[in-house]
Amino acid sequence: MTTTPQAAYWQGFRDGLPFLLVIMPFSVLFGVVATEAGLNVLEALTFSVVVIAGAAQFTALHLLQNDTPTLIVILSALAVNLRMAMYSASLTPHLGAAPIWQRALVAYFTVDQSYALSIVTFDKRKDWGVAQKVAYFFGTVTPICPMWYLMTIVGALIGSTIPPEFALDFALPITFIAMIAPMLRSVPHLIAAGASVTGSLLLAGLPLNMGLLLAAVIGMAAGAQAEVWMSRKTGETA
């Protein structure tokens, strides 16, 4: 039975709902941190709407609070968001034939959650066409992105009134664990993850978050080399 675009949209909507458990406290935390950094409510909301990338937003705020030069702040935020270019390349075979206005919206709403859900589902649903895939993608962001904006406002309004024992900063690592863990399905994936984690721990003392950026490069290089090694091994045994 063929899935209609409407059915694909609602499947995406349902798949995106569990992420609200971490998106809500994560965005509240950003609103709080933004006000602590000196932004008002409108500025915090604008930051979320324009950038719509939590890791880059937190990185930029952290650096700004430490009086880091503006150029370094911009480059660091861009480097953290460099993964979006890889997400885009990965989604292009599935969504590249969509109308340009849809692709523009997809580009804006490509976040970690929408990418992770979409790429896994697209790989499973080989029978879906572009219309179903686009509908599913927009379904995933419907519960996530509006809530990101709304809870940013809530966080900015309540500011520092949240007791520190609430520990809202748990949301960031849990979000990434929930997205990445299901995607570690091959030896190269595991090697890339292990190398990046090890690199980030060993290089944590470098200034201006350079350790994290270098660890990402190490992870990608290790994963790519593992792919080459696996391909050669498969070719030799074929």
* Residue 15 shares a structural domain with residue 126: yes
Work out the burial of residue 68: count CB atoms within 10 Å of its CB; fewer than 13 is exposed, 13-18 middle, 19 or more buried.
Answer: middle
Q: How many CA atoms lie within 13 A of 51 on its CB side?
A: 24
* Residue 189 shares a structural domain with residue 153: no
Amino acid at 153: I
- Which residue among 166, 193, 228 closes a domain? 166
Judge whether 73 and 64 are in contact, CB under 8 Å: yes
Cα–Cα distance for residue pair 165/163, rounded to 1 Å:
5
Domain membership of residue 123 (yes or no) is yes
Cα–Cα distance for residue pair 80/211, rounded to 1 Å:
12
* Residue 77 shares a structural domain with residue 147: yes
* Residue 136 shares a structural domain with residue 201: no
* Residue 31 shares a structural domain with residue 148: yes
* Residue 161 shares a structural domain with residue 220: no
* Residue 145 shares a structural domain with residue 222: no
**How do the pLDDT tens digits run along the chain, 238 residues long?**
578 999 999 999 999 999 998 889 888 888 888 887 778 899 999 989 988 887 788 778 877 777 777 777 787 777 778 778 888 989 999 999 999 999 999 999 999 899 999 999 999 999 999 999 999 999 999 999 999 999 999 999 987 676 666 655 555 566 566 656 766 778 888 898 899 889 989 988 887 667 777 887 888 888 888 888 888 877 665 5
* Residue 74 shares a structural domain with residue 136: yes
Q: Which positions ≥6 away from 134 have C-beta within 8 Å?
A: 5, 95, 98, 102, 106
Cα–Cα distance for residue pair 52/188, rounded to 1 Å:
29
Question: Can you spell out the DSSP letters for 27-59?
Answer: HHHHHHHHHHTT--HHHHHHHHHHH--HHHHHH
Number of domains in the chain: 2
Domain membership of residue 148 (yes or no) is yes
* Residue 211 shares a structural domain with residue 154: no
Q: Tokens in use for 115?
A: 């990418």
* Residue 94 shares a structural domain with residue 30: yes
* Residue 32 shares a structural domain with residue 125: yes
Tell me the residue range of the domain where 26 lies: 5-166
